Amino acid sequence: MNISQDPQNLEPTRISIKALSTAIAYAKNNFNNQEERDFIMKKVFEAFQVMDEDVKEYALHTLSEISIKEYDYVELYFDQIKEVTAQAVQSDSNRVGAQAFEFWTTLAEEEVERS
């Protein structure tokens, strides 16, 4: 995954986080392996450190996909998720803030469906 905080790698980072969002549906085996799961989540959280609205929006969308496809693992990263979504809600970007709310809505809907 070419997700980096380096400003010179902004476009590859945008492409990578957007692709990751789509790839979550095919990452079941990766999420079953703790080392691989931790690596994926580390990269998602790293994307939140990039000073770019698109990257943050895609990172939040990726979290939403994870909450649906890999729901059982969300709790392992809950503290970090709370932190990045709280920052997103306080963002100057309406798109990023809205996507943070969308994450929590998606997670709540998934919990209702599973109960």
User: Token digits for 34?
Assistant: 């703790």
96 within a domain of the structure (yes/no) = yes
Name the domain count of the chain.
1
Task: Identify whether 1 is part of a domain.
Answer: no
Q: Across residues 31-48, what is the average pLDDT?
A: 97
For the cut 70, the answer to whether the pLDDT of residue 25 exceeds it is yes
In-domain check, residue 2: no
Consecutive H or E run containing 53: helix 53-69
Separate counts of helices (H) and strands (E) for the chain: 7, 0
Residue 33 lies in a domain: yes
Please report whether residue 103 resides in a domain.
yes
Sign of CA dihedral 19, 85, 38, 114: negative
Domain that holds residue 16: 7-114
Residue 97 located in a structural domain: yes
In angstroms, rounded to a whole number, what is the distance separating the alpha carbons of residues 56 and 23?
17
Judge whether 94 lies within some domain: yes
Residue 1 has pLDDT above 80, yes or no: no
